[in-house]
Amino acid sequence: MADSVLDAEDQDLLRASADFGHIVGSRPLGVLTARSVGAVQGLVAFAGPRGIAVTARGGGQAVYGQGQADGGYVVDMTGLDEVRCVPEDRLLVAGAGALWSDVVRASLAAGLAPPVVPDHLGASVGGVLSTGGFGGSSHRFGLVADWVRELEVVTGTGERLVCSQQEHPDLFRAVPAGLGQCALVVRATLQLLPAPARVRRYRLHHRTPGTFFTDQRRLARDARFSHVAGQARPAPGGDWHYIIEAVAPHNGQLPPEDGLFIGDLDHDPDTEEIEDLSYAEYLHRLDRDERLLRASGEWQRPHPWLTLLLPEEAATSFVPSVLSEDAQQALRVCGSVQLRPLTGSTLHTPLLRRPAGERLCLLSLMRTAPPDRPDVVRQLVAANRALHTRARAVGGVLYPGGALPMTPADWRTHFGPDWDELVRAKALYDTHRILTRGYGLWP
C-alpha cells in the first residue's frame, strides 16, 4: 500500500461522511486514497475477515449514503483515473475513478464516444456502472452498463479478477447495476461508436402531458433523433408544461432540415428553440447549470431525489397526478423533473430491474430542500417512500440510488426473480458481506 494513503485526518473523514444528497452522514474509520489496484486489494483482504465495511467512492454523487461506510473504510477511487482510448478497436479503457468528463475528452479526441453518456459528467465510471447509468440516447442504446465489454474488479474476498461474458460470466452478471455488492470495479472497458461533429438541439414546448407523451413515444420509436429527453416545468396557475429536448447529429456541412425532424410534432411552434452545438458542447451542457447551482449554494443543499421506471402507458396519468400533489409542490420552486423514454428491448444489463413491456418512462424528481430544515427533508423522503409504493402499484420499479430507505425485504422484492442469483454471488464474492453496506441490502 506504499503508493496509496490510508487517512484518518478529520477533513478526509468529513468528506467521506457526506455526499451530494446531504441527508445522511456516517463517519468512516479511515479513507484509502487508492493509487494502485494492489492497495484496494490489500485493504479489502484486511477488512474482510474482520467484518469491517468497505465502500468505494468516486464522484460522491450518491444522495442517501450509498457511498459511505459507517465505522469502516471508504476507498477513494479518484486516483485510479487513467483513461486510454483504443481507436482501432473502438474501445476505451478507464480506471474506475475516472470521471465521465475524462471519458468524453479521451474518446472525442479520437472522433469516438460512448453510445450512452450520463447527462452530468461529474460522476465516476465505477459509480455510474454500479447503478447502470442512463443518458440522452438511452431510448436507442439502453444503459451505460449495456456497453461494458470487460471489467477488472476486486471482490469482497480480496481477489483481483477480470470478468466479461467469456471470463467469470457470473461475476460479470453481478457487477453492472449490482450496487457494489459483489466487487469494487477498478477498471472498465467500454465500447465506443463514431461521434458526430455537431448536433442540432430542439427544445419543443408542449402545453399538455397528452401531446408530450404522444410525441415522446413517437420519437423513441422512430429513431429520427440520437438523443431524446424531456422535462416538466412549472407553468402559471399551478400547472406544468412539458418540454421535449431532442438532438439530431450532423456533420457540420449539411444541417438537418427542420421540417423533416419536427414538422409532424404537436408542440407549440411559436416557442420552439433550435440551436447548433458541437457534440462536446452538447455533452457538457450541464456544466453551466452546475456552476450556477454552486454559486447560489443550491449544490450544497439536501437533495432528496427519486428516480422511477414506469410503464409508459401508466406514466401518462401517473406523472401529471404526482405533479399536482401537495407533497410535490416544492419542485415548482427548487428542483427539476426529468422524463425520458426508454426502450425495453435495448436494456440488457441483468440486474437492472425494469417494468415489463417495450415503452418505458424514466421519471426523476430532482428536488433541492432548504438548508437547516431536517423536518422538510424527512417529509420529502417520506413522500419518496409513498411514491415508490404507488409506482409499484402501476407496474413501476425503483431506479436505485435515490433518497429512499429500503429494508432487506424491500430489496428482495425489488430484485424479484434475480434475488437468489444475487444472494449466491454475494456469498461467493463477498463472503463477509463487507461491501457497500449503505444500500442496506442485508440484515
The candidate with the shortest Cα–Cα distance to 120, out of 336, 284, 247, is 284
Using N-to-C axis directions, what is the helix angle for 209-222 and 312-323, rounded to 10°? 150
The reply on whether position 55 binds ligand FAD by CB under 6 A is: yes
Member of 4, 17, 41, 131 binding ligand FAD (CB under 6 A): 131
Report the C-alpha gap between 121 and 115 in whole angstroms. Answer: 14
By CB under 6 A, which span of 127-135, 319-327, 386-394, 425-433 interacts with ligand FAD? Answer: 127-135
* Residues 393-412 interacting with ligand FAD (rule: CB under 6 A): 401
Does residue 60 touch ligand FAD according to CB under 6 A? yes
CA distance 162 to 171: 9
| Interaction residues for ligand FAD, span 170-209 (CB under 6 A) | 180, 184-185
**Contact map string, positions 20 to 49, toward ligand FAD, x by CB under 6 A:** x-----------------------------
Among 28, 30, 48, 59, binds ligand FAD (CB under 6 A): 59
Residues 6+ positions from 298 with CB-CB distance below 8 Å: 334, 368
Q: What angle do CA 173, 114, 306 make, to 5 degrees?
A: 65
Residues with Cβ within 8 Å of 280's Cβ and at least 6 positions away in sequence, in order, are 104, 108
Amino acid at 232: A
User: Which cell numbers in the block locate residue 442?
Assistant: 442485508
- Evaluated on CA atoms 74, 66, 100, 286, the torsion sign reads negative
Angle at 370 between CA 406 and CA 21, to 5 degrees: 40
Residue 123 sits in the site that holds ligand FAD (CB under 6 A): yes
**Residue of 127, 176, 209, 355 that binds ligand FAD (CB under 6 A):** 127
| 214 sits in which H/E element | helix 209-222
Rank residues 128 and 398 by Cβ distance to ligand FAD and give the closer one: 128
Binding mask 344-383 for ligand FAD (x = CB under 6 A): ----------------------------------------
* Cβ at position 95, least distance to ligand FAD in Å: 9
Minimum Å gap between C-beta 49 and ligand FAD is 21
Q: What is the DSSP letter of 370?
A: P
Residue at 205: amino acid letter? H
To ligand FAD, the closest distance from the beta carbon of 188 in angstroms equals 9
The residues binding ligand FAD (CB under 6 A) are: 19-20, 55-62, 66-67, 77, 96, 118-120, 123-124, 126-128, 130-131, 133-135, 180, 184-185, 401, 436, 438
